[in-house]
Protein backbone atom coordinates (compact mmCIF):
# COMPACT_ATOMS: atom_id res chain seq x y z
CA UNK A 1 0.00 0.00 0.00
CA UNK A 2 1.26 3.51 -0.83
CA UNK A 3 2.20 5.82 2.00
CA UNK A 4 1.23 9.47 2.07
CA UNK A 5 2.55 13.01 2.17
CA UNK A 6 1.95 15.33 5.13
CA UNK A 7 2.52 19.09 4.79
CA UNK A 8 3.71 20.17 8.22
CA UNK A 9 3.78 23.92 9.01
CA UNK A 10 6.50 25.09 11.40
CA UNK A 11 6.73 28.27 13.52
CA UNK A 12 7.48 31.57 11.75
CA UNK A 13 9.26 32.88 14.84
CA UNK A 14 7.74 31.61 18.07
CA UNK A 15 8.63 27.96 18.68
CA UNK A 16 5.58 27.67 20.94
CA UNK A 17 3.43 27.76 17.79
CA UNK A 18 4.24 24.17 16.82
CA UNK A 19 1.04 22.19 17.33
CA UNK A 20 0.59 18.82 19.00
CA UNK A 21 -0.55 17.35 15.69
CA UNK A 22 2.56 18.63 13.87
CA UNK A 23 4.79 17.16 16.60
CA UNK A 24 3.07 13.77 16.33
CA UNK A 25 3.24 13.79 12.55
CA UNK A 26 6.98 14.54 12.60
CA UNK A 27 7.46 11.78 15.17
CA UNK A 28 5.43 9.21 13.28
CA UNK A 29 6.57 9.94 9.70
CA UNK A 30 9.06 7.50 8.18
CA UNK A 31 11.17 10.40 6.97
CA UNK A 32 11.12 14.20 6.79
CA UNK A 33 11.77 16.17 3.61
CA UNK A 34 13.20 19.55 4.59
CA UNK A 35 14.08 22.76 2.74
CA UNK A 36 17.25 23.20 4.81
CA UNK A 37 18.14 20.17 6.91
CA UNK A 38 20.24 22.31 9.34
CA UNK A 39 17.25 24.57 10.11
CA UNK A 40 14.93 21.59 10.57
CA UNK A 41 17.50 19.77 12.72
CA UNK A 42 17.35 22.68 15.20
CA UNK A 43 13.57 22.35 15.41
CA UNK A 44 13.77 18.58 15.83
CA UNK A 45 16.36 18.98 18.61
CA UNK A 46 14.01 21.44 20.35
CA UNK A 47 11.19 18.90 20.03
CA UNK A 48 13.43 15.97 21.03
CA UNK A 49 12.68 14.10 17.79
CA UNK A 50 15.25 11.97 15.95
CA UNK A 51 14.30 11.24 12.35
CA UNK A 52 15.94 10.65 8.99
CA UNK A 53 16.00 13.82 6.86
CA UNK A 54 16.23 14.33 3.10
CA UNK A 55 16.75 17.74 1.57
CA UNK A 56 14.12 19.07 -0.83
CA UNK A 57 14.65 22.63 -2.05
CA UNK A 58 14.26 24.85 -5.09
CA UNK A 59 17.35 23.63 -6.97
CA UNK A 60 17.10 19.88 -6.36
CA UNK A 61 13.34 19.49 -6.39
CA UNK A 62 13.09 18.01 -9.90
CA UNK A 63 15.37 15.11 -8.97
CA UNK A 64 14.50 14.78 -5.27
CA UNK A 65 10.75 14.94 -5.98
CA UNK A 66 11.00 11.63 -7.85
CA UNK A 67 13.06 10.02 -5.08
CA UNK A 68 10.50 11.09 -2.46
CA UNK A 69 7.62 9.96 -4.64
CA UNK A 70 9.16 6.50 -5.09
CA UNK A 71 9.62 6.11 -1.34
CA UNK A 72 5.99 7.11 -0.71
CA UNK A 73 4.80 4.71 -3.42
CA UNK A 74 6.78 1.98 -1.71
CA UNK A 75 4.71 2.57 1.44
CA UNK A 76 6.61 5.21 3.44
CA UNK A 77 5.03 8.30 5.00
CA UNK A 78 6.78 11.61 4.32
CA UNK A 79 6.44 14.82 6.37
CA UNK A 80 7.40 17.88 4.31
CA UNK A 81 8.60 21.00 6.14
CA UNK A 82 10.08 24.29 4.94
CA UNK A 83 12.34 26.63 6.94
CA UNK A 84 9.36 28.38 8.50
CA UNK A 85 5.62 28.58 7.92
CA UNK A 86 3.45 26.54 5.60
CA UNK A 87 5.19 24.38 2.97
CA UNK A 88 4.12 25.05 -0.62
CA UNK A 89 3.26 28.73 0.03
CA UNK A 90 6.16 30.66 -1.58
CA UNK A 91 8.22 27.68 -0.46
CA UNK A 92 9.21 24.33 -1.96
CA UNK A 93 6.38 21.83 -1.95
CA UNK A 94 4.02 23.00 -4.68
CA UNK A 95 5.65 20.62 -7.20
CA UNK A 96 5.72 17.69 -4.79
CA UNK A 97 2.01 18.14 -4.03
CA UNK A 98 1.28 18.20 -7.78
CA UNK A 99 3.38 15.06 -8.33
CA UNK A 100 1.61 13.22 -5.49
CA UNK A 101 -1.83 14.34 -6.69
CA UNK A 102 -1.06 13.10 -10.21
CA UNK A 103 0.17 9.76 -8.84
CA UNK A 104 -3.00 9.34 -6.76
CA UNK A 105 -1.13 9.65 -3.45
CA UNK A 106 -3.01 11.11 -0.49
CA UNK A 107 -1.75 14.52 0.63
CA UNK A 108 -2.71 15.84 4.05
CA UNK A 109 -2.10 19.52 4.88
CA UNK A 110 -1.95 20.24 8.61
CA UNK A 111 -3.12 23.80 9.37
CA UNK A 112 -0.64 26.01 11.21
CA UNK A 113 1.67 29.04 11.07
CA UNK A 114 1.56 30.95 7.79
CA UNK A 115 2.94 34.48 7.42
CA UNK A 116 0.33 35.61 4.88
CA UNK A 117 -2.67 34.74 7.05
CA UNK A 118 -1.06 35.98 10.27
CA UNK A 119 -0.32 39.33 8.59
CA UNK A 120 -3.77 39.68 7.03
CA UNK A 121 -5.52 39.03 10.33
CA UNK A 122 -3.49 41.64 12.21
CA UNK A 123 -3.35 44.21 9.37
CA UNK A 124 -6.53 46.12 10.11
CA UNK A 125 -7.31 46.03 6.36
CA UNK A 126 -10.44 44.43 4.87
CA UNK A 127 -10.15 40.67 5.16
CA UNK A 128 -13.33 39.60 3.34
CA UNK A 129 -11.67 39.38 -0.06
CA UNK A 130 -7.91 39.28 -0.56
CA UNK A 131 -5.28 38.09 -3.01
CA UNK A 132 -1.82 36.78 -2.21
CA UNK A 133 0.81 38.02 -4.66
CA UNK A 134 3.88 36.31 -3.16
CA UNK A 135 7.29 37.87 -3.87
CA UNK A 136 7.63 40.52 -6.57
CA UNK A 137 10.36 39.92 -9.12
CA UNK A 138 13.78 41.47 -8.50
CA UNK A 139 13.84 42.70 -12.11
CA UNK A 140 12.52 46.27 -12.26
CA UNK A 141 10.53 45.77 -15.46
CA UNK A 142 8.62 42.68 -14.38
CA UNK A 143 8.12 44.10 -10.86
CA UNK A 144 6.46 47.18 -12.37
CA UNK A 145 4.40 45.05 -14.77
CA UNK A 146 3.21 42.90 -11.87
CA UNK A 147 2.15 45.99 -9.88
CA UNK A 148 0.53 47.63 -12.91
CA UNK A 149 -1.57 44.51 -13.47
CA UNK A 150 -3.02 45.19 -10.00
CA UNK A 151 -4.00 48.85 -10.51
CA UNK A 152 -7.73 48.04 -10.55
CA UNK A 153 -7.55 45.25 -7.96
CA UNK A 154 -10.17 45.98 -5.29
CA UNK A 155 -9.29 43.10 -2.99
CA UNK A 156 -6.72 43.53 -0.22
CA UNK A 157 -3.32 42.58 -1.67
CA UNK A 158 -0.63 40.72 0.25
CA UNK A 159 3.07 40.57 -0.66
CA UNK A 160 6.12 38.91 0.85
CA UNK A 161 9.25 41.06 0.76
CA UNK A 162 12.87 40.90 1.85
CA UNK A 163 14.13 43.88 3.91
CA UNK A 164 16.84 44.90 1.41
CA UNK A 165 14.24 45.27 -1.35
CA UNK A 166 11.51 46.84 0.77
CA UNK A 167 12.20 50.51 0.02
CA UNK A 168 12.36 50.02 -3.76
CA UNK A 169 9.14 48.03 -3.62
CA UNK A 170 7.38 50.71 -1.56
CA UNK A 171 8.56 53.41 -3.99
CA UNK A 172 7.24 51.40 -6.96
CA UNK A 173 3.94 50.75 -5.16
CA UNK A 174 3.56 54.46 -4.31
CA UNK A 175 4.06 55.34 -7.97
CA UNK A 176 1.62 52.73 -9.24
CA UNK A 177 -1.10 52.78 -6.52
CA UNK A 178 -0.64 56.40 -5.33
CA UNK A 179 0.90 57.80 -2.15
CA UNK A 180 -2.41 57.83 -0.24
CA UNK A 181 -3.09 54.09 -0.54
CA UNK A 182 -3.23 52.49 2.95
CA UNK A 183 -0.67 49.79 3.75
CA UNK A 184 0.08 47.69 6.82
CA UNK A 185 3.70 46.65 7.16
CA UNK A 186 3.76 43.52 9.33
CA UNK A 187 7.27 42.90 10.62
CA UNK A 188 8.82 40.05 12.63
CA UNK A 189 5.46 38.41 13.29
CA UNK A 190 5.29 36.21 16.40
CA UNK A 191 8.85 37.29 17.33
CA UNK A 192 10.14 39.52 20.13
CA UNK A 193 10.15 42.65 17.97
CA UNK A 194 6.81 42.06 16.24
CA UNK A 195 5.51 45.34 14.83
CA UNK A 196 2.60 46.41 12.62
CA UNK A 197 2.88 49.84 11.00
CA UNK A 198 -0.49 50.93 9.59
CA UNK A 199 0.15 53.89 7.33
CA UNK A 200 0.05 55.04 3.69
CA UNK A 201 2.47 54.18 0.88
CA UNK A 202 3.83 57.77 0.81
CA UNK A 203 4.48 57.80 4.55
CA UNK A 204 6.01 54.32 4.47
CA UNK A 205 8.51 55.47 1.83
CA UNK A 206 9.44 58.46 4.00
CA UNK A 207 9.78 56.33 7.13
CA UNK A 208 11.99 53.63 5.60
CA UNK A 209 14.12 56.17 3.72
CA UNK A 210 15.13 57.53 7.13
CA UNK A 211 15.42 54.17 8.93
CA UNK A 212 16.68 51.15 7.01
CA UNK A 213 14.16 48.29 7.32
CA UNK A 214 15.25 45.21 9.26
CA UNK A 215 13.66 41.81 9.78
CA UNK A 216 11.02 39.91 7.84
CA UNK A 217 8.07 41.76 6.31
CA UNK A 218 4.63 41.02 4.93
CA UNK A 219 3.00 43.96 3.14
CA UNK A 220 -0.78 44.20 3.25
CA UNK A 221 -1.99 46.84 0.79
CA UNK A 222 -5.58 48.08 0.62
CA UNK A 223 -7.39 47.37 -2.64
CA UNK A 224 -8.35 50.14 -5.09
CA UNK A 225 -11.42 52.12 -4.01
CA UNK A 226 -14.61 51.18 -5.84
CA UNK A 227 -15.11 53.33 -8.92
CA UNK A 228 -18.03 55.64 -8.15
CA UNK A 229 -20.20 56.21 -11.16
CA UNK A 230 -21.49 59.78 -11.38
CA UNK A 231 -25.26 59.85 -11.10
CA UNK A 232 -27.05 60.95 -14.27
CA UNK A 233 -28.88 64.30 -14.05
CA UNK A 234 -32.36 65.24 -15.36
CA UNK A 235 -30.63 66.99 -18.31
CA UNK A 236 -28.71 63.78 -19.11
CA UNK A 237 -31.99 61.83 -19.01
CA UNK A 238 -33.78 64.32 -21.28
CA UNK A 239 -30.94 64.26 -23.82
CA UNK A 240 -30.84 60.44 -23.75
CA UNK A 241 -34.61 60.15 -24.33
CA UNK A 242 -34.40 62.72 -27.16
CA UNK A 243 -31.64 60.77 -28.88
CA UNK A 244 -33.56 57.47 -28.66
CA UNK A 245 -36.68 59.16 -30.05
CA UNK A 246 -34.65 60.63 -32.91
CA UNK A 247 -33.49 57.10 -33.65
CA UNK A 248 -37.13 56.06 -34.00
CA UNK A 249 -38.11 54.80 -30.59
CA UNK A 250 -41.53 55.69 -29.17
CA UNK A 251 -41.56 58.16 -26.23
CA UNK A 252 -42.80 55.41 -23.88
CA UNK A 253 -40.06 52.95 -24.88
CA UNK A 254 -37.38 55.65 -24.85
CA UNK A 255 -38.28 56.59 -21.25
CA UNK A 256 -38.21 52.95 -20.22
CA UNK A 257 -34.84 52.35 -21.92
CA UNK A 258 -33.30 55.53 -20.48
CA UNK A 259 -34.36 54.64 -16.94
CA UNK A 260 -32.68 51.27 -17.39
CA UNK A 261 -29.46 52.50 -19.03
CA UNK A 262 -28.92 55.47 -16.70
CA UNK A 263 -30.13 53.60 -13.62
CA UNK A 264 -32.76 56.25 -12.82
CA UNK A 265 -36.38 55.87 -11.59
CA UNK A 266 -38.87 55.87 -14.49
CA UNK A 267 -40.79 58.82 -12.96
CA UNK A 268 -37.65 60.95 -12.90
CA UNK A 269 -37.01 60.24 -16.58
CA UNK A 270 -40.69 60.86 -17.42
CA UNK A 271 -40.58 64.28 -15.69
CA UNK A 272 -37.28 65.16 -17.39
CA UNK A 273 -38.72 64.26 -20.80
CA UNK A 274 -41.99 66.22 -20.34
CA UNK A 275 -40.81 69.26 -22.30
CA UNK A 276 -39.44 67.32 -25.23
N1 LIG B 1 5.81 29.45 3.53
C2 LIG B 1 6.02 30.55 4.45
C3 LIG B 1 4.66 30.98 5.00
O4 LIG B 1 3.72 31.02 4.21
O5 LIG B 1 4.55 31.34 6.17
C6 LIG B 1 6.69 31.73 3.78
C7 LIG B 1 8.03 31.46 3.25
S8 LIG B 1 8.71 32.76 2.29
C9 LIG B 1 10.13 31.98 1.66
C10 LIG B 1 9.41 33.82 3.49
C11 LIG B 1 8.71 35.18 3.56
O12 LIG B 1 7.59 35.09 4.43
C13 LIG B 1 9.58 36.29 4.18
O14 LIG B 1 10.39 36.90 3.20
C15 LIG B 1 8.54 37.25 4.70
O16 LIG B 1 8.00 38.04 3.68
C17 LIG B 1 7.45 36.27 5.19
N18 LIG B 1 7.64 35.93 6.61
C19 LIG B 1 8.02 34.73 7.11
N20 LIG B 1 8.07 34.80 8.46
C21 LIG B 1 7.72 36.05 8.81
C22 LIG B 1 7.60 36.74 10.05
N23 LIG B 1 7.84 36.14 11.21
N24 LIG B 1 7.19 38.03 10.04
C25 LIG B 1 6.94 38.65 8.86
N26 LIG B 1 7.07 38.06 7.67
C27 LIG B 1 7.44 36.77 7.63
**Pocket-forming residues, ligand 1, beta carbon under 6 Å:** 12-13, 82, 84-86, 89-91, 114-116, 160-162, 186-191, 216-218
Q: How confident is the model at residue 229 (pLDDT cuts 50, 70, 90)?
A: low
**Amino acid 144: pLDDT:** 95
48 vs 256: CA distance, rounded Å: 76
Centroid of ligand 1 to alpha carbon of 69 (angstroms):
27
Q: Atom 8 of ligand 1 has which residue's CA nearest to it?
A: 90
Q: How far is the CA of 184 from the centre of ligand 1 (A)?
A: 15
Candidate from 22, 216, 221 with most ligand 1 atoms within 8 A of CB, to mutate: 216
What are the angstrom distances between the C-alpha of 203 and each of 125, 136, 181, 184, 207?
Answer: 17, 21, 10, 11, 6
Give the model confidence (pLDDT) of 39-66 as tens digits: 999 999 999 999 999 999 999 998 999 9
- Report the largest interatomic distance among the alpha carbons of the chain, rounded to a whole angstrom: 89
Domain 5-109: CATH superfamily, name plus number: Tetrapyrrole methylase, N-terminal domain (3.40.1010.10)
Q: How far is ligand 1, taken at its centre, from the CA of residue 85, in Å?
A: 7
Task: Tell me the pLDDT band of 1, cut-offs 50, 70 and 90.
Answer: low
What residues does 233 pair with on adjacent strands?
none
List where CATH 3.40.1010.10 sits in the chain: 5-109
Superfamily for the 115-221 domain: Tetrapyrrole methylase, C-terminal domain (3.30.950.10)
The string of pLDDT tens digits covering residues 114-142 is 999 999 999 999 999 999 999 999 999 99
Poorest-confidence range of 16-25, 224-233, 247-256?
224-233
Q: Kindly give the number of the ligand 1 atom that is closest to the alpha carbon of 116.
A: 4
Give the CA-trace dihedral at 139, 141, 145, 147, to 10 degrees. 60
Give the residue from 65, 67, 104 showing the smallest Cα distance to 88. 65
Residues of the chain with CATH 3.30.950.10: 115-221
Q: In this model, does residue 2 exceed pLDDT 90?
A: no
Distance 30 CA to ligand 1 centre (A): 27
Amino acid sequence: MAGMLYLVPTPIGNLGDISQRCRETLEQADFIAAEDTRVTMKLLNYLGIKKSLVSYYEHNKAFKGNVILERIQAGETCALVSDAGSPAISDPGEELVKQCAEAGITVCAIPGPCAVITALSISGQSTGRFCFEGFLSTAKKSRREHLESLIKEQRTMIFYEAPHKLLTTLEDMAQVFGIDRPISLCRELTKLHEEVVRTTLGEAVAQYTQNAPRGEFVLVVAGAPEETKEEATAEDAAAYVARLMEEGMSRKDAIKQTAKDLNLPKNTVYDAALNL
